[in-house]
């Protein structure tokens, strides 16, 4: 075995209550190129390790106050990367087995030979190095897997967003609607103190809330006049269509799914599709309902300009208790006062920033 480089040589800690034995062991290991420290007791060894961890602890078993197994247990718990080699009496086979069971890398029986000490210590350090490399490799692999999973998730969300954008491209006057509903919902959620995961799901659900309109006939979707009862029923199928479409994809995002299904519920129970009332409507859906309606009111249509912001806010307040949740409307008003999102310019008829369509 070649001698380790003095600078990078592993640091060994020798623990024995007999000074002559410590000196012998130290000389053997230093001749092998290791850097060494020594301690006369378990307590002193722990103090030395606290100051500077070691790659290897070579400890006697029979010591007053703290025996070798107790020290072994402490080292395994506090310095799991440190290899421990136990020195035991020749008749202590059971004890040696007990040491291995408690995590000792190896043991040496007294009286020992110089080459035996060198061999066992060298093997223990090599084994330790392999274990460290193994752990580092596993952690690296786990990080790579997580990175890949995040990349897939981002790609998946981008695909869903493209689907929502494709829907808006069919109707240029709603271009940007889902993005704005996402912004408004996010601002309300922050005002209400929702946690980060629910906020992220709410934003996703808001961006995708009308995706079910893909299943609505275009003639009905873009009709400029009043809808017939049949047409209204048809268009109001979009929350359930969207929910069915996204359910297999968003199994891990129930709050996002709730927004898609329940954003047309009303707090008085007269909404669709389930006729839920009050707190039975998921909070995320009550938030999205406010955001959705505000954007619908302030957006221009081909046949009318959007409503002024103050008028739209007055309408939201008027519909508290029937259509909207009071806390959600109040939170939206606070977010608006705090300029948490850009105010819509209702004098401008959309589309204002429609991208050119690629044939």
3-state class percentages of the chain: helix first, strand second, coil last, to nearest 5:
60, 10, 35
**Per the structure block, which two tokens stand in for 326?**
């009071």
Query: In this complex, which beta carbon is closest to Fe ion, that of residue 106 or of residue 210?
Result: 210
In this structure, how many other beta carbons lie within 10 angstroms of the beta carbon of residue 92? Answer: 17
Nearest distance in Å: CB 262, Fe ion: 10
Nearest distance in Å: CB 300, Fe ion: 18
Query: In this complex, which beta carbon is closest to Fe ion, that of residue 239 or of residue 300?
Result: 239
HSE-CB for 101 with a 13 A CA cutoff: 6
DSSP 240-264: HHHHHHHTTT-TT-HHHHHHHHHTT
202: nearest Cα among 328, 53, 70, 38: 328
* Annotation marks residue 73 as catalytic: no
For the chain, the maximum distance between any two Cα atoms, rounded to a whole number of angstroms, is 102
Residue nearest to Fe ion (CB): 210
Task: Return the exposure string of 231-249: e unless at least 16 CB atoms fall within 10 Å of the residue's CB, then b.
Answer: beebbbebbbbbbebbeee
Q: Which residues bind Fe ion (CB under 5 A)?
A: 210
Report the alpha-carbon angle 52-56-58, nearest 5: 110
Query: In this complex, which beta carbon is closest to Fe ion, that of residue 39 or of residue 288?
Result: 288
Nearest distance in Å: CB 213, Fe ion: 7
Q: Pick the catalytic residue from 73, 110, 213, 223.
A: 213
- Alpha-helical (H) ranges within 173-235 are 177-192, 196-208, 218-221, 229-235
Nearest distance in Å: CB 263, Fe ion: 6
CB distance 306 to 349 below 8 Å: yes
Query: In this complex, which beta carbon is closest to Fe ion, that of residue 22 or of residue 213?
Result: 213
Report residue 358: phi and psi, to 5°: -90, 130
Nearest distance in Å: CB 288, Fe ion: 9
Query: In this complex, which beta carbon is closest to Fe ion, that of residue 22 or of residue 238?
Result: 238
Q: What positions carry a catalytic annotation?
A: 213
């Amino acid at each position: 075995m070649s001698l380790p480089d003095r600078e990078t040589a592993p640091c060994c800690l020798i623990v024995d209550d007999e000074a002559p034995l410590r000196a012998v062991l130290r000389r053997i290991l230093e001749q092998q190129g290791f850097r060494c420290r020594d301690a006369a007791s378990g307590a002193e060894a722990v103090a030395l390790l606290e100051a500077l961890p070691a790659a290897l602890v070579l400890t006697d078993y029979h010591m007053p106050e703290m025996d070798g197994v107790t020290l072994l247990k402490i080292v395994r718990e506090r310095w799991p990367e440190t290899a421990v080699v136990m020195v035991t009496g020749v008749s202590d086979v059971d004890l040696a087995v007990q040491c291995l069971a408690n995590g000792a890398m190896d043991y040496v029986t007294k009286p020992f030979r110089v080459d035996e000490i060198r061999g066992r210590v060298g093997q223990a350090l090599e084994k330790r190095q392999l274990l460290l490399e193994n752990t580092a490799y596993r952690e690296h692999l786990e990080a790579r897997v997580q990175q890949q999973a995040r990349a897939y998730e981002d790609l998946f969300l981008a695909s869903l967003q493209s689907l929502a954008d494709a829907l808006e491209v069919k109707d240029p006057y709603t271009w940007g609607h889902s993005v704005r509903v996402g912004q408004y919902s996010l601002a309300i959620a922050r005002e209400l103190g929702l946690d980060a995961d629910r906020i992220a799901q709410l934003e996703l659900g808001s961006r995708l809330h009308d995706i079910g309109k893909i299943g609505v006939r275009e003639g009905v979707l873009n009709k400029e006049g009043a809808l017939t009862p049949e047409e209204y029923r048809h268009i109001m199928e979009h929350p359930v269509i969207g929910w069915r479409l996204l359910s297999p994809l968003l199994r891990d995002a129930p709050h996002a799914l709730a927004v898609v299904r329940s954003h047309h519920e009303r707090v008085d129970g007269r909404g669709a599709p389930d006729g839920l009332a009050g707190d039975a409507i998921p909070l995320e859906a009550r938030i999205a309902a406010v955001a959705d309606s505000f954007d619908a009111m302030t957006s221009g249509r081909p046949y009318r300009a959007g409503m002024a912001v103050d008028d739209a806010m007055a309408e939201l307040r008027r519909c508290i208790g029937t259509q909207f949740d009071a806390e959600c409307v109040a939170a939206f008003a606070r977010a608006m006062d705090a300029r948490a999102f850009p105010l819509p310019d209702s004098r401008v008829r959309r589309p204002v920033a429609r991208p050119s369509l690629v044939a």
